[in-house]
Structures are given as structure tokens and as C-alpha cells.
Amino acid sequence: TPTLLQPLVATVPLQVFACELATARGNEVDQPRNLAKSVTVE
């Protein structure tokens, strides 16, 4: 894989890994904590 494309190729497996890790730790991946504080609605 060319060096410039490596971050794009690695993104999906890392996202899946992070989701699986969060689920295994018992964290809610669909409704993260403190999300309302960082999202502003106009």
C-alpha cells in the first residue's frame, strides 16, 4: 500500500477495534457521556 493511503486503509479497522473495546469495557457506544455539552444546537 502506498504511504499516502496507509492512514485511510487503517481507519476502518481501528474504528472497529475501538468500538469492540468500548463494548467489552461496558461503555455505551451509541450514546456517549457528555455529548450534549460538546454539541451546540442553534
Q: 13 near 6, Cβ under 8 Å?
A: no
- Residue 2 domain flag: yes
Count of structural domains, the chain = 1
Q: 19 near 12, Cβ under 8 Å?
A: no
- Residue 34 domain flag: no
Query: E-assigned strands of the chain?
Result: none
Q: What's the pLDDT at 16?
A: 95
* Residue range 1-42, pLDDT digits in tens: 588 889 888 899 999 999 999 999 998 888 877 766 656 666
Domain limits at 4? Answer: 1-27
Q: What's the pLDDT at 42?
A: 63
- Residue 13 domain flag: yes
Q: What's the pLDDT at 2?
A: 80
- Residue 21 domain flag: yes
Cell, residue 33: 457521556
Q: 22 near 33, Cβ under 8 Å?
A: no
- Residue 23 domain flag: yes
Kind and range of the H or E run holding 20: helix 6-24
